[in-house]
Amino acid sequence: MSIQLPSTPTRSTEDLEARQTLLAENGEPSSHSTTPDHTSMAPDRAVDGAKAKGDSIAGTIVLASVAFLTLSTWITIFTHNPSALGWFAPHPLFQTLGLSAITYGIYTLQPTSFANPQAKASGLTRHQVVIFCLGFPALLMGTWSIWHNKSIHDKPHITTWHGTFGIVCIAWLLFQVFLGAGSVWFKGALFGGGMKAKGVWKYHRLSGYILFPLFFTTIHLGGAWSDWAVAVIPYAVRFPVYTVVPALVVVGTFWRMRTSKMKFF
């Protein structure tokens, strides 16, 4: 006697495509899998995968601006006898390098879409590599260097708005990394996996978009108004480099942002 297994109902190509389109429009993964992966975590640019008007220009402005900010800072440090600056010198070098990496990490995620899962996966991989291998370590090293410099000279810590914003940003960054890694690594097991982890990821994204301008506000406060900057950098240089340029980076990044996967209500 043979045993006949129950047949699995099939779905027409048209029905499947319609379901995938509906799920994509609602910001959900287009498969039945409850495990968050690279393709379901990276942010979409638009439902149909098309770029919004001005995205390419905004992206160019973002990358050019953050590169100019970093290069200007490094030139300033290396043309003002860095050996005499002691442990202060690595602080602006590492912080601008780290924020350049963070900026690129966000930039590389923004153009991805549901229409190209491979691009989404590649974008998330680049995002993690550049942040964990360069951005995060550089910011920690820059923070340690200024803390150490003040300690060895018996100077008080966190006495300015620049210092206050800076320490808040670093503490927030630790939380941000925890949310991001916990919701993706090991299939999001730290937060329950599946859709629970995906739900945490959207808070990671929101938190990042709040933290990002705070970092560049910190850059502005240090580069435009710190005692050392005021003493050695002319205002005609400080204003464009540490006021205009950070604003361009933030505005350009927010221009390219999509909120379709940050639905909280």
Q: So what's the pLDDT on residue 265?
A: 54
Please check whether residue 183 is in contact with residue 25, taking contact to mean a CB–CB distance below 8 angstroms. Answer: no
Please check whether residue 171 is in contact with residue 158, taking contact to mean a CB–CB distance below 8 angstroms. Answer: no
Q: How many CB atoms lie within 10 A of CB 117?
A: 18
> Is 18 a member of any domain?
no
> Is 206 a member of any domain?
yes
What pLDDT digit, counting tens, does each position of 40-87 carry? 444 444 443 446 788 999 999 999 999 999 999 999 999 999 999 999
> Is 215 a member of any domain?
yes
> Is 8 a member of any domain?
no
Q: How many residues does the chain have?
A: 265
In angstroms, rounded to a whole number, what is the distance separating the alpha carbons of residues 247 and 239? 11
Q: What is the mean pLDDT of the chain?
A: 84
pLDDT band at 19 (very low <50, low <70, confident <90, very high): very low
Q: So what's the pLDDT on residue 191?
A: 92
Q: Provide the residue range defining the domain that includes 100.
A: 51-255
pLDDT above 70 covers a percentage of the chain that reads 77
> Is 185 a member of any domain?
yes
Q: How many CB atoms lie within 10 A of CB 131?
A: 24
Please check whether residue 230 is in contact with residue 218, taking contact to mean a CB–CB distance below 8 angstroms. Answer: no
CATH number at 122 reads: 1.20.120.1770
In angstroms, rounded to a whole number, what is the distance separating the alpha carbons of residues 249 and 105? 13
Average the pLDDT over 238-262 and give the result. Answer: 93
131-145, 165-179, 247-261: the lowest-pLDDT one: 247-261
What tokens does 109 get? 């995620």
Q: So what's the pLDDT on residue 121?
A: 85
Q: So what's the pLDDT on residue 119?
A: 82
Average the pLDDT over 214-241 and give the result. Answer: 98
Q: What is the pTM of this model?
A: 0.80
> Is 20 a member of any domain?
no
The HSE-up count of residue 244 (CA atoms within 13 Å, CB side) is 10
What tokens does 107 get? 């930039």
What tokens does 176 get? 């941000």
Total count of domains within the chain: 1
Name which of 218, 125, 135 is nearest 176 in CA terms. Answer: 135
> Is 122 a member of any domain?
yes
What pLDDT digit, counting tens, does each position of 184-218 carry? 999 999 999 988 998 898 899 999 999 999 999 99
> Is 195 a member of any domain?
yes
